[in-house]
Structure 1
Amino acid sequence: MTKLSVNVNKIATLRNARGGNVPNLLKVASDIERFGAQGITVHPRPDERHIRYRDTRDLKKIVATEFNVEGNPNPKFIELVLGVKPDQVTLVPDAVDAITSNSGWDTIKHQEFLREVISKFKDAGIRTSIFVDPDEQMVKGAKSTGTDRIELYTESYATGYSSNKEMAIKPFIEAAKMANSLNIGINAGHDLSLENIQFFSENIPGLLEVSIGHALICESLYLGLDNVVNMYLNKLK
């Protein structure tokens, strides 16, 4: 079964909109685990507009499942991750002012940089994953960085799903097969939802984990957080 890691950035966004501590991020994360999710993901950005660096440190103390920290590996992020030591770090090449992640790494152009950063995390006993587009050459490049896993950037799949899901998923299947042949673990995330998650998980060989935040929280406004977490788990079986 593919594991579900829930990104709680949107919970922090809601909290920050009014100040104070409502909703309580730590309680929500614990509840999400209690509802059945197998991981918690955060993506602290330099401006701390949603997840704050302190949140990451506080969550490390209470997350009982897998803790995944995403971000662009600038010096401050690297220091945070090495201090927190989450179960997994996912490296994302997002710009400082990016609203959300919008591309994968060029694993050939940035190979030396990624290799250096990844070695630091692996020396600290942290599993590494890097965000990549569904491109076989980028997967091959990822192998040379020494990463444990890749996270397939699934926006193009989500965008094309409603018009032609077979065509939309084709490059992801090819990228996954390449990753399997190179013994690289496969995660996935970005715009996955209750509508498109099952087809994706059924067709991607060796899919270990999906990270879902925005859609899951939005769906929970109507259907309830406990219910939605378990709806995802059922579709991932």
Structure 2
Amino acid sequence: MAHIVLDKASVELAVYNSRGRALKSEILRRTVGGGLQNDRDSSIQLVKALNEISFEAKDGDRIGLVGGNGAGKTTLLRVLSRVYPPTSGYATIEGRIASLIDLSMGMDTDATGYDNIEMRSIMLGLDYQQAEAIIPDVEEFSQLGEFLSLPIRTYSSGMMLRLAFAVSTAVHPDVLILDEVIGVGDAAFAERAEQRLRTMIQKASIMFLASHDSNSIKRFCNRTLWMKSGKLMMDGAPDEVLAAYAADGAA
């Protein structure tokens, strides 16, 4: 059973060699989210990417994340993916995680497609036997055929994405984490990918989807978190939160 609790979780990221660079500071603030703080060493600045975020997620939650660029959505997804630990506060995350933030994470361009299936699967939490067991599914879905025996540096970008997507979605997680709804490959493959993703969403106990598309939030989510400058502004039903977010942008 999946269960997630964040209690005043904050994340501060250190930025080095930024003395006297006002423009760089502003770009970092807008890109990462939150606010900049000066460290005792003036060559270091701390970006408070998340600021005391608290919420609970239970089985059945389909949670959308909305907010402008630099609001902290991706940082929050990385905390939920166990990539970033909170620098203060707590994050308790129970259940197997499948994060589709970066599909190619953990893939080695000098290794073959088959080797990368195993490496990516193990990174997603499978053991060696489980990684071996999903190979036929990845073969069938990716439709890469004999290319799976070649180093992936020989692949086109579309082939690379097809392999990464096939592996990432062959795992059945308790918690599914998405940064935008994924479009992969040509029209025929994209349609199959959407069907596969829908099945994955249905099977997951909890899902998080960060998106700038309000239609995707309404389509896939039953709850929405609005973030701004690293803070959680509102947590509620999608229509209510999206309306408040839109009103704030129009103000």
Q: Provide TM-score, normalisation by structure 1.
A: 0.37
Task: Name the structure with the higher helix share.
Answer: 1
The structure that is strand-richer by fraction is: 2
TM-score, reference length from structure 2 = 0.35
